[in-house]
Amino acid sequence: MWQSFKSEIQKTIEKRVPTKMTQGRHTHPWMNTAIRRKINQKQKAHKKARKTKKKRDQDRYKRLRQEVQWEIRQANKKYMEEILVLLNVLWLTTFTTAYIRPIIGVVAQKSSGGHGDTGIPADYIKWIESAGGGVVPIRDKESEEYYEQMFTYTNGVLLPGGGVNLFTSGYANASRYFYEMALKACTHYLKHMYIIDNAYDKGDYYPVWGTCLGFQELSALTAGVLVTTNASVWDKSLPLNLTEDYKESRMFGNLPDDVKTYLMKDNVTPNFHAYGVTSETYNSNSRLKKFFKVLSTNVASNGKEFLSTVEARKNKHKFPSVEMEAKH
């Protein structure tokens, strides 16, 4: 839209710049002392050339006329360019500010469909857009420079659900880059322990959200090993079993009572997963326990309790993660 608007302004500039000899007037906003002086010289030369009819005087008049024309064109063009700059600022402060919104990257993964090698489920995009965010796809199998650039261009990243390898896939590669860059944005890494930096307290963080496969990916990246086991719940909605930690969490801490009741009593969280992180695995892995706190659990079809919502501890990072499919 802006390029079209800028093109129209440029056309206006071209129309306003005189192509023929223009008599300058004091009312013209682009008039300056140098142009007035040059016009006076031209007028005197014109009178002298008409009186003497000498070629030398006529040539001087023609030269001054051309100089005046050139000066007027340049002054007019500069004036219109200044208007364009002001319009640019006006557009930025009205349109851009009015529509400013967070840009969230969504990691793509290998697709078996006929619409390209990779893809992103549309419901994740609509979910973000419904909350006022903008979406940009994060391609897999790209260079480190590409991911660094996309990290600076976005305000957060979403790791969607799917079915690819948690360590060797392009999805895993892209997720790892964003996981590590997000940690570096607010923490120092020292002796395999993440130590809080004052950047976090200042609000300088890069949120990472993982749903389903994204939950499993974040768990694997944090633990350093595969921690998912059979915790199948397929095509079934369940209420959340909230833990005590939910009360102090950023995700659920300010839940209204009616919403909390809705989440705890009704079958509102859809599940479509074959694997998950069980409570037993979580309690036996020190890295998971140090990094994540559990906000809710559920029970799989085989009777095992699995983590359905986790969140990075306050001194780690803002990594909300849900095993169940986000309700779009």
Task: Please report which confidence band the pLDDT of residue 274 belongs to, taking 50, 70 and 90 as the band edges.
Answer: very high
Q: Which residues contact 72 (CB under 8 A, 6 or more apart)?
A: 18, 22, 24, 30, 35
User: What number is the average pLDDT over the span 267-283?
Assistant: 94
Active site residue 212: yes
Beta carbons of 26 and 85 less than 8 angstroms apart:
no
Structure tokens at 256: 């209204």
Mean residue pLDDT of the chain comes to 80
Task: Please report which confidence band the pLDDT of residue 235 belongs to, taking 50, 70 and 90 as the band edges.
Answer: very high
- pLDDT over 80 (residue 19): no
39, 157, 172, 212: which is the annotated catalytic residue?
212
What span, in angstroms and rounded, lies between the C-alpha atoms of 62 and 45? 9
Q: pLDDT (tens digit, 9 = 90+) per residue, 151-176?
A: 988 889 999 999 899 999 999 999 99
